[in-house]
Structure 1
Amino acid sequence: MMREKAIKWLIGISALSCLIWAGGLAWTLQDTFSGAPAAAPPIEGTAPGTEEEAPEPIVDDGSFRLLALGDSLTKGTGDTEGKGYVGYLLEDLKEKSGQDIVLGNYGVNGQVSSQLAEQLGQSRIKDEVVAADVIVVSTGGNDLFQGGQTLGNLEPAHIQKIEDAYLLQLKSILKQLRENNADARIFLIGLYNPFGALENAEATTKIVRDWNYKAAEVAADYPQTVLVPTFDLFQLKVQDYLARDLFHPNAAGYRLIGDRVASLITWQGVKG
C-alpha cells in the first residue's frame, strides 16, 4: 500500500535523529532542532513568563489550577488547531464547571523522562506543582521510540533496558510531584502505538502494552495517581488519528485523549 510505503520511508528518515518523535518529520523539524528545549508557547490559560520577563508569582485565589507537564503531546505538536489534548481537556472542564480554569502548560518538544525529572527541580515548576489541583503528564514516548530508531532493534533485552531506565525516572517524577503536592490528582497519559499499521505491528503492540502496564503499576504506588489509557483509542484506526508526521496525534486524536482525561475529572472536582 502507498501509505504503508510512505510510513516506512518516514521511519527511515527518523532514524537519523533521536529527536524526531517530538519534532515530527515535516513542518515540526525547525521547532525541534532550534536549540535547547523550551517551554510550550502560550495557549489560553498558560502561565505567563518568558526569559525576558519574570513570571508572575502564583497567588492562591481559590481558582481551579490545571498543570500540564511532559513532551510534545502536552505541547500539542501535530494539532493544526494548536490545542493538543491539554486544550481539549481545558475546554471540557470549562464546559462542565461553567467557570474559568487557570492552566500552566510546560510541554517541551523532544523531552525524555530524565529531562522532566530535572525540570521538576526548577523553582517555577515547583511552585506550579504546589498550587495545582490536577496534574497531567505525558512522558515515555521519546524514551521508548527514540525517533523511530527503536524499530531497528525490537529484541526483548534491548527493550527491557530502555523500559527499566524509564521506570526509574517515572518513579522519580511521581515521587517529586507527591513530595510537593500530596493532594493533587495526577493523570499519566499512557502510550498509543503510532506504528500499528506496519508489518511489525504485532511486536510493537506487545511492547507498548507491556510498557503501559508497568507504568500503571508504578502509578498505582502513589495516591490519587492513575495512568490514562490511550492505546485503545488509536488501535483500530491509528492512521485516521495521526498528524502529517505520522507520529503525533492530529486534532481528532488529541481530542480523544483530552475527552478521556476530562471524563476522569468529575464536575465536583472543579472548585465552585
Structure 2
Amino acid sequence: MQSKKSGWYAIFSVSLGSILLLGTGAVMAYSSTTGTVVQKQPSSPPQPQTNLPNTQTPPTGQPKQPTTPVTKSPVTSPAAVNGDYRLLALGDSLTRGTGDETGLGYVGNVTTELQKLTKNKIIVSNLGVNGMKSPELLQYVNSPEVQQDIRSANLITITIGGNDLSQGVGSVTSPDPQVAKKTRDTYLASLDQTVATIRSLNPNSAILFIGLYNPFLLQGSAAETATQILQDWNQQTVHALGKYPNTLFVPTEDLFAWDGTRLLSADMFHPNAKGYKWIADRILQDIL
C-alpha cells in the first residue's frame, strides 16, 4: 500500500436509495449432475449500485505471498471425503459473484478446482445476497433452511462486513473513526454470534472468511484515517475468528493493492472475472 495513496478496504454499496435485503426464505434450485453448482438464491436480488471510480494505474502481476498472515487450520479436501462434498457459501455480493462477467465468481472458480480432486459430486449452495450486512447474515443463519445446509456442509465460506463499513463511517471520503468504531463493534458482535451459531450446528466443517479489499483510493489525511480504520477492522476480525477451531481468515487486500483497477468490474467496486479468480486461488491455497 502506498503512503500517499491508501486504499479504503471495503466492498461498498453506495446508494441514496434503499437496498432490498431479502429474508431468510430462498428459492431452492437443485441439480444432480456431477460437479454442477447447486444454487440456492433469493428471488429478485437487488442490483449492484453505482460506485466511485478508482483512478490508480497499478503494476501488473500477482504477488506470490499474502501480506496479511493467514491463520492455518486443516481443511478437509474432497479427496478425503467418501461421497458428495458440500460447499456452503454465505454472505454479500462477493459471495454472489456480482461483477464477474463470466458468472462464476469465486465460488464457481473454487468449485471447478475442487471437482478435479474427486469423482464424486461437489454440491454447492450459494446463498450470497447483494447488500447484506452482518446483522442480516446472523438472521440468515438462524433460519431453518440455511441451518440444514450448515449441518451438512464440508466447507463454509463467508464474505461480510463491506456494507456495514461503507454505510457506517460517517462519510466515505472523510471517514470518522468514532463512528467507524461503533459500526465495527456492532459488526463484531454479529459476526461472533454468526460463527458461534455455525459452530454449534457443525463443529467440524472448515470456515473460510474472506477479508475486505481496496476498491478505490483516497488521498491525504482521509487516506491515512481510512487505512487505520480498515487495518483495525481486519485485525479485529482475525481476533474474533481466532477463538473458533478450524476457522481461517483469508486476506485479499494485497491482491487488489497489487493489481488495483485491473481486478475490478465496470462498477469499480466488485471484482471482475480475473479478480474473482485471484480470490479463488487464495482460498484454494488452504485447501489444495
Q: TM-score range by the shorter chain?
A: 0.7 to 0.9
The equivalent residue for 1:204 is 226
SS at match of 1:108: coil
SS at match of 2:185: helix
The equivalent residue for 1:257 is 279
- Do residues 125 (structure 1) and 146 (structure 2) align? yes
Residues 107-158 of structure 1: per-residue CA shift (max 9 Å, x gap): 1111111001001111111110000010001010110112996414412111
The equivalent residue for 1:168 is 189
| TM-score calculated relative to the size of structure 2 | 0.73
- Do residues 46 (structure 1) and 38 (structure 2) align? yes
The equivalent residue for 1:104 is 125
The equivalent residue for 1:227 is 249
One-letter code aligned to 1:14: V
1:247 Cα deviation (Å)? Answer: 1.1
The equivalent residue for 2:72 is none
The equivalent residue for 2:266 is 244
* Counterpart-to-counterpart distance in 1, 2:215 and 2:22: 26
Q: Tell me: CA distance 1:93–1:112, structure 2 relative to 1, closer, same or farther (3 Å).
A: same
* Counterpart-to-counterpart distance in 2, 1:114 and 1:201: 28
8 Å CA contact 1:189–1:229 kept in 2: the answer is yes
Any unmatched runs of 5+ in structure 1? 1-12, 20-32, 52-59, 267-272
* Counterpart-to-counterpart distance in 2, 1:119 and 1:191: 21
Q: Tell me: CA distance 1:147–1:39, structure 2 relative to 1, closer, same or farther (3 Å).
A: farther
Q: Tell me: CA distance 1:160–1:49, structure 2 relative to 1, closer, same or farther (3 Å).
A: closer
| C-alpha RMSD of matched pairs (Å) | 2.7
1:36 Cα deviation (Å)? Answer: 3.9
**Aligned residue among 99, 108, 111 for 1:78:** 99
8 Å CA contact 1:40–1:107 kept in 2: the answer is no
1:237 Cα deviation (Å)? Answer: 2.2
- Do residues 179 (structure 1) and 200 (structure 2) align? yes
The equivalent residue for 1:270 is none
Identity of aligned residues (%): 37
Q: Tell me: CA distance 1:135–1:103, structure 2 relative to 1, closer, same or farther (3 Å).
A: same
* Counterpart-to-counterpart distance in 1, 2:103 and 2:125: 16
8 Å CA contact 2:98–2:105 kept in 1: the answer is yes
The equivalent residue for 1:54 is none
Q: Tell me: CA distance 1:81–1:40, structure 2 relative to 1, closer, same or farther (3 Å).
A: farther
1 or 2, which has the higher helix percentage?
1
SS at match of 1:193: coil
* Counterpart-to-counterpart distance in 2, 1:242 and 1:186: 26
Q: Tell me: CA distance 1:147–1:40, structure 2 relative to 1, closer, same or farther (3 Å).
A: farther
8 Å CA contact 2:96–2:105 kept in 1: the answer is yes
The equivalent residue for 1:16 is 16
* Counterpart-to-counterpart distance in 2, 1:218 and 1:138: 15
**Aligned residue among 143, 148, 155 for 1:134:** 155
8 Å CA contact 2:265–2:271 kept in 1: the answer is yes
1:100 Cα deviation (Å)? Answer: 2.6
Q: Tell me: CA distance 1:123–1:36, structure 2 relative to 1, closer, same or farther (3 Å).
A: closer
Q: Tell me: CA distance 1:252–1:107, structure 2 relative to 1, closer, same or farther (3 Å).
A: same
8 Å CA contact 2:40–2:127 kept in 1: the answer is no
